[in-house]
Structure 1
């Protein structure tokens, strides 16, 4: 059976959706697709559009995939990916006609509200990715979340409410998901928020700090590695002793080398990098062979090559550089400015 599930790794950055769908058509995105019924309804009732449904949950995507495959709609694809991350790396500016969110987690506890997907930075990001007159619609059972969302959208200044009222309870033409049907059957209200993009927007630098993937230019999207020549030909145990351990924080980025694993000619470092809202965990490999040492991301992991990921490689190189005499760089895809800055310290 044909599968309509696309893998984030295969899509890379800014995929050609026209090529993927085999045609050019307006793109409608559902963030948090649940069991897939809304995206299926959207695609079935609008054959002139291309629909993309996304969800971060592996289990949810697994269940949705079965429904989507059974529906067999050529204008529908699904991807397992977090919503803001998808906007950053899968869609160019002004490439989306509509974005939908049905019952996102409202994170009602005061201490949890920073976990909400909608925030000031998200609205700037959404405003950049939507076409002019493209729109956003959200359904929620939380009046607090609805009011909060309206407040955020009104602050940005490029959106206009789709309706006279900022929040409505009756939306006859809108598909009612399984969750919505259950809520309505209990006599409880649903709150709909809708906004249209009226003008272009420039993404501020603080938003790019919050979403570090926005800092990557197409020509910069390359995984970092450094290959060096070491005349001393050290043992792997000697290299292991001098490697950085623990947490390194600089330029609003946190690199944490959690644990180390070694064998005859290789060291694996379990690494976490935190930049803004993005947290990535991966393995760094140090492979020693015939006076050459390669510092790279292990092939079993696939982080996005942000500045922090480059820095995690450069920090290790800087420790080796300060320890071994006549260390010679043979190949380097790590950002030059990061390496040079660390070597000066």
Structure 2
């Protein structure tokens, strides 16, 4: 499949942030697009700036496939695609002071106040930009919602970034089908540019190490089944074990689990299996999540619950 040569699975990496020069096979300026859609802008920018290495984030597998095919048809080699929430990816996958350019074109503004927490540009995102951008690095936002651009400008400025705009883009937009659609309706397009004035730092929560725990108890199907519904909630995260599946021989179990870290959600399986005279609790290798605090807490809480009986 053409798109697979461009697809990265950073949850499998044992080192985070990764060494991008090893991934691309060269040392070059890094540029990022969050929410690249069908890939029009990403493909054209990768051609225009072939001297840069590009990383695109999307949450739609369909968009990943379509963009990967366009990249393959154009013979482009300086792009990698990641099926991941871009806000999380920008913070976790790039070291401080490593990114030259970040582009976001027409993000959903989530206009209703009850959905405000879903907006991309918030205090955490602004602090991430301040940390990962190079001194000469820039964040470019394009939107058809002036109020959203104004809100983004305010949050970026409050975080200590230098902000130009919002300003009308009568021409020179990203050139995507969304831009053509908005302009055909007579809608205005707005842009802003933010740059890092002083170096920043951001706390990263994903690690490469795989959490596991050994428990000095025998495998008991009833005790394992009782783990269904196990959950914990704390200020910055939560997890819940939704279902328990036992193997036919009753010696191994899969625990379908959901976790959340600062709004970043993951779905994965925890394996409970016999190990020597006891049990081993670990992540299932077929559904490896990012090893965040909530994921690690889920593994160790399962082990603790089994030990307590």
Is 1:318 the counterpart of 2:308 in the alignment?
Answer: no
Equivalent of 1:287, from 242, 256, 273?
273
Which residue of structure 2 aligns with residue 266 of structure 1? 252
- 2:92–2:205 Cα contact (<8 Å) kept: no
Is 1:248 the counterpart of 2:251 in the alignment?
Answer: no
- 1:244–1:319 Cα contact (<8 Å) kept: no
Gaps of 5+ in 1: 209-213, 324-345
The C-alpha deviation readout for 1:153-179, integer Å capped at 9, x for no partner, is: 11112x2224xxx21113644431111
Which residue of structure 2 aligns with residue 338 of structure 1? none
What is the CA-CA distance between 1:268 and the residue it aligns to?
A: 1.7
Equivalent of 1:224, from 199, 208, 211?
211
Query: Given the superposition, is the C-alpha separation of residues 5 and 45 from structure 1 closer, same or farther in structure 2, using an over 3 Å criterion?
Result: same
Secondary structure of 2:69's aligned partner: helix
- TM-score, normalised relative to structure 2: 0.90
Is 1:139 the counterpart of 2:142 in the alignment?
Answer: yes
Which residue of structure 2 aligns with residue 60 of structure 1? 63
Distance 1:316 1:30 in 2: 38
The C-alpha deviation readout for 1:124-178, integer Å capped at 9, x for no partner, is: 0111010012101111011121111111111112x2224xxx2111364443111
Query: Given the superposition, is the C-alpha separation of residues 46 and 171 from structure 1 closer, same or farther in structure 2, using an over 3 Å criterion?
Result: farther
Query: Given the superposition, is the C-alpha separation of residues 47 and 255 from structure 1 closer, same or farther in structure 2, using an over 3 Å criterion?
Result: closer
What is the CA-CA distance between 1:194 and the residue it aligns to?
A: 0.9
Distance 2:29 2:238 in 1: 39
What is the CA-CA distance between 1:289 and the residue it aligns to?
A: 5.3
What is the CA-CA distance between 1:15 and the residue it aligns to?
A: 2.0
The C-alpha deviation readout for 1:211-261, integer Å capped at 9, x for no partner, is: xxx135xxx53111112343xx45x32432554734322464322121212
Distance 1:256 1:10 in 2: 22
The C-alpha deviation readout for 1:298-338, integer Å capped at 9, x for no partner, is: 22211111222221122222223334xxxxxxxxxxxxxxx
Distance 1:304 1:144 in 2: 34
Which residue of structure 2 aligns with residue 89 of structure 1? 92
Secondary structure of 2:287's aligned partner: coil
- 2:17–2:94 Cα contact (<8 Å) kept: yes
- TM-score, normalised relative to structure 1: 0.81
Equivalent of 1:109, from 105, 109, 112?
112
Query: Given the superposition, is the C-alpha separation of residues 257 and 143 from structure 1 closer, same or farther in structure 2, using an over 3 Å criterion?
Result: same
What is the CA-CA distance between 1:276 and the residue it aligns to?
A: 1.5
Is 1:6 the counterpart of 2:8 in the alignment?
Answer: yes
Matches within 5 A, 1:9-28: 9-11=11-13, 13-28=16-31
Secondary structure of 2:285's aligned partner: coil
What is the CA-CA distance between 1:85 and the residue it aligns to?
A: 1.5
Which residue of structure 2 aligns with residue 170 of structure 1? 169
- 1:28–1:50 Cα contact (<8 Å) kept: yes
Q: Between Structure 1 and Structure 2, whose CA radius of gyration is higher?
A: 1
Query: Given the superposition, is the C-alpha separation of residues 62 and 254 from structure 1 closer, same or farther in structure 2, using an over 3 Å criterion?
Result: same
Root-mean-square deviation over aligned CA pairs: 2.1
The C-alpha deviation readout for 1:18-57, integer Å capped at 9, x for no partner, is: 1222221111111111111111111111222222222111
- 2:227–2:244 Cα contact (<8 Å) kept: no
- 1:229–1:291 Cα contact (<8 Å) kept: yes
